[in-house]
Amino acid sequence: MAIQYATAENLDQVISEGFVIVDFFSTTCGPCKMFSRILEDIEAEIPFLDIVKLNTTDYPEVGEKYGVQAVPTIQFYKEGELKETRVGVMTAAQVKEVVAQYMYA
Amino acid sequence: MENFNSRLLSLYPYEKVDIGKFQKVFQVDEEAIQYEINRLLNRYLTWEVGEEVHSGDMVVCSLMSSVDKFQKENIKVIVDSGMFHKSLEHVLIGMHKNEKKTVVLEEGEVQILVKEIQNRVVPNLTNEMVQALNLETVSTIEEYQSYLISEQKQKMVGNDAYHAIKYIMSEVDCNSDLILKQADWKKMAELELAKYRNLSKQMDLVLEQMTKEDFDGKIPVASYFELVTLVQDNAWDTLIHYLIGKYYADQEGYVVSEAEYEQFIEEYIAAWRVTEEQARESQSYELFVVTSYAGCYYQKVKKYVEERIYVEA
């Protein structure tokens, strides 16, 4: 599935099924742009991964609801349950390691 | 700044500083260039139902084994990604849909049934793909490769030029004639300390009482007194750089404006998520003026060095 952008209205629904990576970012954040490229690379390699981005500049209340205090914050959901949260840029290898840990558990 | 009594009497020309020892031949990082080309191709890749497994393909398979990890029904793997199991994924290469195979891995014996194959199909790079990037003056593959090399050079030049810039500035600072007043030096240091004082206040700390642990991760000092020493050292250079930068700015008719300061404050608020009051407290207009003029000096030397740092083999 292509990387999609979530909104305050649909984020709960989007993470409710399957394995989803949520990237909380902000418009002016340099490291977020760097991590965006990494997510694009991962998406090209692993097509069955759902990747969702949420702009905390546009939806600051959603960031607060999900405990986002800094960006980028990356959350990994499986069937709607939060499995892991990471703050800061992750390498592609680190992302795949987390995905593998929960997807193949 | 109008109250400064320090003066620049004569400026040593930075062009007279020999940077030969810093110059180098630019080496293209071919791997990085190919990575960017691959990123472009990724936009056009497709996943197509296939009959034979290759590296990078997505495979749905069933596994049977006495080892728990390999007792799986309809597991999706990306071949050679290493996400599930590097050796097992590699064994899939060359297998066909509905093919069964028994392999012995380090952990034990596993029977594999390939149920579905999606081939990762990456097209060749075309001029049309390059044109779709809408880069000015770039419409062919060759022009795109030149563009990538130029971009790479621009990214690397900052690092490669750094030491030459610092060296030139040090030589210019030492060989220029200046009148430096202690009161101005003190003023520079106080501006910087005021910034740190306000920043620490925003973190509910008192700068003068901060401990090593309080400073840890913020400023590389262990006490307030170490900070004062550091600030005083830096303030001397800042005063010199301000005077030289002001000279260059005057030559070019550039004056730091309040509009620029307001723009800076707006960006600071967005970047650091602070209030306007907090931004103005920690980033005073006076400090902004000093930093901006000092920046003129740095940018002048930087431009000069970046145009000369790379030489032909």
Q: What average pLDDT score do residues B113-120 get?
A: 97
Higher pLDDT, B249 or A2: B249
Whether the bond into A72 is cis, omega within 30 of 0: yes
pTM of the model: 0.72
- pLDDT score, position A65: 86
Cα–Cα distances in angstroms (integers) from residue B239 to residues B4, B154, B169, B188, in the given order: 10, 30, 13, 7
Q: What is the pLDDT of residue B2?
A: 56
Q: Largest Cα–Cα distance of chain A, in whole Å?
A: 36
Which chain B residue lies closest to A31 (C-alpha atoms)? B271
Supply the mean pLDDT for chain B.
95
**How far is residue A35's CA from residue A23's CA, in Å, rounded to a whole number?**
9
Query: Which residues on chain A place their C-beta less than 8 Å from a C-beta of chain B?
Result: 28, 37, 40-41, 44-48, 96, 99-100, 103-104
The ipTM assigned to this model is 0.88
Q: How many CB pairs under 8 A join A and B?
A: 34
Supply the residues of A annotated as catalytic.
29, 32
Q: Is A28 close to B81, i.e. CB distance below 8 A? A: no
Residue B271: the pLDDT is 79
> Which chain B positions have a beta carbon within 8 Å of A40's beta carbon?
39, 42
Interchain proximity B81–A104, CB inside 8 Å: no
pLDDT given for residue A85 in this prediction: 95
In this prediction, residue A12 has a pLDDT band, given cuts at 50, 70 and 90, of: very high
Residue with tokens 């099924």: A17
Minimum mean pLDDT among B83-97, B114-128, B211-225: which range? B211-225
Q: What's residue B91's pLDDT?
A: 96
Contact A86, A43 (CB under 8 A): no
Which among A44, A99, A104 has CB closest to B45? A44
Could you tell me which chain B residue has the CA closest to the CA of A99? B83
The pLDDT score that the predictor gives to residue B130 is 97
- The 10s digit of each residue's pLDDT in A23-67 is 999 988 889 999 999 999 999 999 989 999 999 988 888 877 898
B contacts of A103 (beta carbons < 8 Å): 83
